[in-house]
Amino acid sequence: MNQFQYVQPAKSKAAIDTVTKDQTAMFIAGGTNLLDLMKRGIVTPEKLVDINKLPLKKIQKENGAVRIGALALNGETAEDKLVLEKHPLLSQALNAGASAQLRNMATVGGNMLQRTRCPYFYDTALPCNKREPGTGCGALEGYNRMHAIFGHSEKCIAVHPSDMSVALAALDATVLVSGPKGDRKIPFADFHRLPGDTPHIETNLQKGELILAVDLPENPYTKNIHYLKIRDRASYAFALISVAAALDLDGSNIRSARLAMGGVAHKPWRLTEAENFLAGKPATETTFRQAADLAMRGAKAFEHNKFKLKLGPNAIVQALKNAAGVA
Amino acid sequence: MKDYFFQDSVGKPMDRVDGRQKVTGAAKYSAEYELPNMTHAVLVGSIIAKGRIKSMDTKKAENAPGVLAVLYHQNAPKVPGYVQAAHPSEPKPVGQPLRAFYDDKVYFNGQPVAVVVADTLERAMYAAHLVKVTYEEEKHATDFTKNVSKAFLPTAAQRNPKHPLNDYVRGKKDAYKTADIKIEQEYVIPTEVHNPMELQSIVAHWEANDKLTVYDKTQAVIGTQNAFAKDWDIPVENVKVIATFVGGAFGNGLHTWPHETAAIMAAKKVNRPVKLVLTREQMFTMVGYRPHAWQKVGMSATPDGKITAITHEAIGQTSSYEEFTESTLQQTRMMYTSPNVTTRYRILPLDVSTPIWMRGPGEATGAFALESALDEMAHVIGMDPLEFRMRNHTDRDPEKDLPWSTKYLKEAMQMGAERIGWSKRPNIPGTLKNGEWLVGYGMGVGTFGANRGRAKVRAVLHDDGTVVLQCATTDIGPGTGTAMVQIAAQNLGLAPEKIIFELGSSLYPPSPSQGGSATVASVGSAVHAACKALQQRLATLVADNDAGFKGATADKLTFDNGYLSLAATPAARVSFADVLKRQKLKEIEVTEESKPGDERTKYSMYSYSVHFAEVHVHPLTGQIKVAKIVSCADAGTIVNTKTAGNQMIGGAVGGIGMALTEGTVMDHRFGRYVTKDLAEYHVPVHADAPAIDVFFVNKPDLINNPNGTKGIGEIAIIGVAPAIANAVFNATGKRIRELPITPDKLI
Ligand SMILES: Cc1cc2nc3c(=O)[nH]c(=O)nc-3n(C[C@H](O)[C@H](O)[C@H](O)COP(=O)(O)OP(=O)(O)OC[C@H]3O[C@@H](n4cnc5c(N)ncnc54)[C@H](O)[C@@H]3O)c2cc1C
């Protein structure tokens, strides 16, 4: 770990100013990801701007939406009454992530911005275009069991590891940010990027921009929801595949659906085509299977993650079955 | 747990004598020692798997704040005892053929190539990043599968035809091949890493030029003392090794390792105490692992379930600089009554670090293949696998042609089958369901030599009636101190609260390393001897000085709750304390050694376990839940049902890891691990562990040792992985022969 300065501003503006002006400054929230990366020499900020004193912790109703402050803890958010009542899918996704200890430190803003767990990214002795552009992708012809099957490029096949973000993608969240040029709103689908030729740029957040909150619009997905996470151990492991499924049912018919996957791409992977297909169809395993097959179109796997081509659709079917309560 | 109370203290589920210290943080582990003037050392590991160090640029690191020294092969203090190992086949039970900072050679990725010493840990860590090493790379071989043709018979066996690692043939060689009903299958386990909670750590302190003290994480206090005395060419008594508490080890503390030498060198160089704690990542390459192994089992049987032949072959990975071997095939030679048995063991040296024994060393690997194969064979002949094992049970060791000292495996099997509900097991795989989940049952048998070594214990009785016992053994978690207090209480006739057992210091009388499930048998026997000697001394004292006891001998006296008395004359009763006080003695002291005798040539001695698992598998997603485990052990007298039960539960959880989650992956292009922290190397968590029920046969083996004990630590894990794999087969009809069984393998 390199030496760094540490400041803890009380106002958002001061925090934003510092990170905007100082090339090597970074925000730190729960620190559960950033400190790990610093200890391994993967990121080397010379100044840490601790945002924990900023008033960004609240979870409240705002114009019909539920607004979750960037500093709300993962654990608190999962247990929050409003979240449980209006967006239980998010609660399930949060609880599927990390461990209780980590969830008690990790923030909602930090969770969205956590970096990939690709082992080549994590080891400075190995090549990685994301960590050091131009060095090559170690995973492409290396160990790629955990890696992407959608939206990858020659330069990077890493996945975004967040569970929470998969639910946010399915629930049409909007990210509220404030930066040197003022405030703006970023639809969740536009928040994370695909790797393309610039895998080191992971989001559309600009330098100095601070996440203030996420908004979750009112929706009917309060009952028939399920977050399914398939992993190598029962808890405290990243997803091989995860599926956030939400259905609005009219008896046994689907009025509308929301579907997103984790562990398959460089960003939470929204399955819009499958959602559209499901609308108006009966909630049966057959329809779910057809939707899953649609969702998997265009998937391309590598040496060690071919199983995702089969586990993916199976997980979609299972998540939908669980959401619909279909045995 | 079975309520079996073997007289007094032995057998009671007594709380750990150091439990309070452990849960309140008062227990001090090696990394927690603080000495005046302490410095901190951080290792720099190689990033190539094979080659030479071309250059070492340490300027930046040396100039970094707080840095006291940067040591590497060109400037490290010379270790006088470093001798060129004659051959990689000269294995040392203790001591490390890989000499730290000896020359420019790199043998594996992650090998320590430099150590940075600074006044604080943070400064040492930072400076370690600044050390720039350039290498001359050579082509490395790390891929087991690609290099498997290079495997060979261990040199020790090549040189000595009587060596147990030689090929073994009972009856006709490879007889299964010509049989009508047979199976032939290959089984693979990946490299597993011990990953105890506590990181390997050492505080090294030269108290004088030729006087070394180390607070060291080790399972081998005396072994470590001898190794360092030899390395540094100083008298053994000048090396003090302290390991009062060890936070788990599972075998990786049975060696001394280069990081220990690095710390000792650094302490010499900076002339201050040095603390060195490995990182979790370094735990994967610097302190051994369970080696990757390939196995093949051929088996034949009669339609009515008699095994007619077994051939079991194994190849285990080792390093290029040391021939590590383990007894992977032992269970196959002695467990079943097959007239024809062939075993062949080979090792495959690769450009990796040396493995080390890991809980159930060898046998846990071997049992996965053997006990899976048994299940496969039973399936082929359509027989219940429990019945199949019963039919091939043997009441005499078919390998050594000796009687067992004791063997209650059948009882254990019956006990376990009842408790798991074996009768619910469907004979046709994939036919039992619980909702969407497929349900299956499996079993696996384990065995391990009921070992015993030579140990010495000092016992001091004080005039307040308390007793202090001392021995250099460690307690890596099983509750050694607790068990020894119970054995002493039983054999002295004294309440456990009056007894203290001190361990983990080279200042105490010697014991073997804490490995091979032998501590209770070895040290417990010495405790037994020391207690009997103390009673003898007490008897002599009263017989000589107390009229009421005139002519009494120890065997005529009753020792109970701190009093001795003559059964015939109820009035003759005196407390231990008073015996001393009356003679104005502050204390009496005895030191006794105990060792096995020729009973080991007359009997074959093993501990046995059988594990039953119920698993649920989701057919769509491949998720696996172990719903229940029942582990039963025939391990002689159970000294403490609580700590022994604890061992069994821990072993079962380790077995779940082996079966379902553990294994580290190397990218062979770089010869470097790509899963090397606790997020990516999946040790099972609570959510993976179901209710685990433990049952003990609890019958003494008095041929083995006077306390009647046999080891538990290893058999707790041996046989668990195949029990789970067999249950997965029973649930799904899918036979997974390469561990771990992850969801992707079941869809
Ligand atoms: C062992 C382990 C297992 C884990 N398992 C899982 C898992 O299964 N599923 C899962 O989803 N996650 C998992 N996590 C990741 C965990 O969820 C993240 O580390 C956590 O959410 C990050 O939040 P934080 O507040 O600690 O972020 P920090 O580490 O403080 O910050 C992360 C990044 O976000 C930036 N940042 C933080 N807040 C803001 C803000 N308001 N505005 C702008 N930038 C900001 C920081 O500059 C930094 O770059 C695991 C982590 C560990 C260590």
- pLDDT of B150-160, one tens digit each? 999 999 999 99
Tokens of residue B438, six digits:
């497929």
Q: What angle do CA B712, B717, B718 make, to 5 degrees?
A: 95
Active site residues of B: 714
Count of other CB atoms within 10 angstroms of residue A50: 15
Whether the Cβ atoms of residue B138 and residue B51 lie closer than 8 Å to each other = yes
**What are B173-220's pLDDT values in tens digits?**
999 999 999 999 999 999 999 999 999 999 999 999 999 999 999 999
**Separation between Cα atoms, residue B242 and residue B181, nearest integer Å:** 57
Atom of ligand 1 nearest to the CA of A26: 47
Residues of A with CB under 8 A from a CB of B: 1-3, 39, 41, 99, 117, 119-120, 123, 125-126, 138, 141-143, 145, 228, 230-238, 240, 307, 310-311, 314-315, 317-318, 327
Size of the A and B interface in Cβ pairs below 8 Å: 87
Which residues on chain A are in Cβ contact (under 8 Å) with B126?
1-3
Whether B687 and A41 lie within 8 Å, measured CB to CB: no
Q: Locate tokens 């214990």: which residue?
A: B457
Tokens of residue B507, six digits:
């200042």
Q: What angle do CA B451, B453, B456 make, to 5 degrees?
A: 145
Mutation pick from A99, A236, A243, A261 vs chain B, by most beta carbons of B within 10 Å, is: A236
Mean residue pLDDT across chain B:
96
Ligand 1 centroid to residue B677 C-alpha, Å: 17
pLDDT exceeds cutoff 80 at B91:
no
Could you tell me which CATH number the domain at A224-324 has? Answer: 3.30.390.50
Chain A: nearest CA to B676, how far in angstroms?
9
Whether B672 and A126 lie within 8 Å, measured CB to CB: yes
Q: What b/e string do you get for B301-323 counting C-beta neighbours within 10 Å, with b at 16 or more? A: beeebbbbbbbbbbbbbbbbbbb
Whether the Cβ atoms of residue B720 and residue B654 lie closer than 8 Å to each other = yes
Fold of B33-139+196-279: Aldehyde Oxidoreductase; domain 3 (3.90.1170)
pTM of the model: 0.97
Which residues on chain B are in Cβ contact (under 8 Å) with A141?
669
**Separation between Cα atoms, residue B144 and residue A130, nearest integer Å:** 30
**What are B328-371's pLDDT values in tens digits?**
999 999 999 999 999 999 999 999 999 999 999 999 999 999 99
pLDDT exceeds cutoff 70 at B1:
no
Q: What b/e string do you get for B613-636 counting C-beta neighbours within 10 Å, with b at 16 or more? A: bbbbbbbbbbbbbbbbbbbbbbbb
Tokens of residue B444, six digits:
């696996």
Map residue A129 onto helix, strand or coil.
coil
Pairing of strands B467-470, B455-462: antiparallel
Atom of ligand 1 nearest to the CA of A163: 11
Q: Note whether B158 contacts A: Cβ–Cβ < 8 A.
A: no
Q: Is ligand 1 within 6 A of the CB of residue A242?
A: no
Same fold, B19-28+453-595 and B153-192+289-451+601-745: yes
Tokens of residue A273, six digits:
């085509």
What does the pLDDT read at residue B569? 81
Helix (H), strand (E) at residue B525: helix B519-545
**Separation between Cα atoms, residue B672 and residue B693, nearest integer Å:** 39
Option in A120, A126, A307 nearest B744 (CB): A307
Chain A: nearest CA to B672, how far in angstroms?
9
Which residues on chain B are in Cβ contact (under 8 Å) with A125?
47, 670, 672
**Separation between Cα atoms, residue A129 and residue A107, nearest integer Å:** 27
What does the pLDDT read at residue B2? 36
Which residues on chain B are in Cβ contact (under 8 Å) with A123?
672, 674
Map residue B712 onto helix, strand or coil.
coil
**What are B367-425's pLDDT values in tens digits?**
999 999 999 999 999 999 999 999 999 999 999 999 999 999 999 999 999 999 999 99
Greater confidence (B88 vs B576) lies with: B576
Whether A234 and B621 lie within 8 Å, measured CB to CB: no
Q: Note whether B742 contacts A: Cβ–Cβ < 8 A.
A: yes
Map residue B728 onto helix, strand or coil.
helix
Domain boundaries, chain B: 19-28+453-595, 33-139+196-279, 153-192+289-451+601-745
A93 Ramachandran zone, left/alpha/beta (phi>0; psi -120 to 50)? alpha
Give CA B456 to chain center in angstroms.
21
Q: Which residues pair with A239 in a beta bridge?
A: A231
**Separation between Cα atoms, residue B181 and residue B499, nearest integer Å:** 60
Band (B473; pLDDT cuts 50, 70, 90): very high
pLDDT above 90 covers a percentage of chain B that reads: 94
Q: Note whether B669 contacts A: Cβ–Cβ < 8 A.
A: yes
Question: CB within 8 A of B420, min separation 6: which ones?
Answer: B441, B612, B613, B614, B628, B630
Band (B85; pLDDT cuts 50, 70, 90): low
**Domain at B153-192+289-451+601-745: CATH architecture:** 2-Layer Sandwich (3.30)
What is the DSSP-derived secondary structure letter of residue B661?
Answer: I
Ligand 1 centroid to residue A109 C-alpha, Å: 8
Q: Three-state SS across B118-186?
A: ECCHHHHHHHHHHCEEEEEECCCCCCHHHHHHHCECCHHHHHCCCCCCCCEEECCCCHHHHCCCEEEEE
Torsion of CA B41, B42, B46, B47, to 10 degrees: -170
Amino acid identity, position B658: M
What does the pLDDT read at residue B337? 96
Torsion of CA B151, B153, B156, B157, to 10 degrees: 170
| Residue of chain A whose Cα is closest to the Cα of B685 | A235
| Residue of chain B whose Cα is closest to the Cα of A125 | B47
**What are B621-647's pLDDT values in tens digits?**
999 999 999 999 999 999 999 999 999
Q: Note whether B680 contacts A: Cβ–Cβ < 8 A.
A: yes
Q: Is ligand 1 within 6 A of the CB of residue A114?
A: yes
- Helix segments in B322-361, DSSP class H: 330-334
Domain B19-28+453-595 class in CATH? alpha beta
Per-residue pLDDT of chain A (327 residues; tens, 9 = 90+): 888 999 999 999 999 999 999 999 999 999 999 999 999 999 999 999 999 999 999 999 999 999 999 999 999 999 999 999 999 999 999 999 999 999 999 999 999 999 999 999 999 999 999 999 999 999 999 999 999 999 999 999 999 999 999 999 999 999 999 999 999 999 999 999 999 999 999 999 999 999 999 999 999 999 999 999 999 999 999 999 999 999 999 999 999 999 999 999 999 999 999 999 999 999 999 999 999 999 999 999 999 999 999 999 999 999 999 999 997
| Residue of chain B whose Cα is closest to the Cα of A304 | B744
Band (B304; pLDDT cuts 50, 70, 90): very high
Whether the Cβ atoms of residue B262 and residue B101 lie closer than 8 Å to each other = yes
Order of strands, sheet of B168-170, starting from the edge strand that comes earlier in the sequence: B168-170, B340-350, B307-319, B293-301, B182-189
Whether the Cβ atoms of residue B94 and residue B118 lie closer than 8 Å to each other = no
Q: Locate tokens 């285990």: which residue?
A: B316
What does the pLDDT read at residue A104? 98
Option in A117, A142, A237 nearest B682 (CB): A237
Torsional sign, CA B249, B251, B255, B258: negative
Whether B669 and A141 lie within 8 Å, measured CB to CB: yes
- Give the residue whose CA is nearest to atom 48 of ligand 1: A34
Prior bond to B740 cis, omega within 30?
yes
- Give the residue whose CA is nearest to atom 21 of ligand 1: A111
Ligand 1 centroid to residue A210 C-alpha, Å: 14
Q: Is ligand 1 within 6 A of the CB of residue A179?
A: no
Ligand 1 centroid to residue A200 C-alpha, Å: 17
Q: Is ligand 1 within 6 A of the CB of residue A113?
A: yes
pLDDT exceeds cutoff 90 at B539:
yes
Closest to B188 (Cα-Cα) out of B708, B608, B742, B737: B737
Whether the Cβ atoms of residue B571 and residue B371 lie closer than 8 Å to each other = no
Query: Mean pLDDT across the stretch B540-552?
Result: 93
Interface of B with A in 417-476 (CB under 8 A): 435-436
Whether B669 and A41 lie within 8 Å, measured CB to CB: no
**What is chain B's Cα-based Rg?**
27
Band (B94; pLDDT cuts 50, 70, 90): low
Which residues on chain B are in Cβ contact (under 8 Å) with A39?
125
| Residue of chain B whose Cα is closest to the Cα of A4 | B126
Q: What b/e string do you get for A137-148 counting C-beta neighbours within 10 Å, with b at 16 or more? A: bbbbebbbbbbb
- Give the residue whose CA is nearest to atom 16 of ligand 1: A111
Chain A: nearest CA to B651, how far in angstroms?
18
Whether B620 and A240 lie within 8 Å, measured CB to CB: no
Whether B744 and A240 lie within 8 Å, measured CB to CB: yes
- Give the residue whose CA is nearest to atom 32 of ligand 1: A110
Whether B747 and A1 lie within 8 Å, measured CB to CB: no
Q: Is ligand 1 within 6 A of the CB of residue A106?
A: yes
Q: Is ligand 1 within 6 A of the CB of residue A211?
A: yes
Band (B306; pLDDT cuts 50, 70, 90): very high
- Please give the backbone phi and psi of residue A240, each rounded to the nearest 5 degrees, phi first: -70, -45
Tokens of residue B278, six digits:
């490995």
Whether B679 and A317 lie within 8 Å, measured CB to CB: no
Q: Is ligand 1 within 6 A of the CB of residue A70?
A: yes
Q: Is ligand 1 within 6 A of the CB of residue A32?
A: yes
Whether the Cβ atoms of residue B430 and residue B733 lie closer than 8 Å to each other = yes
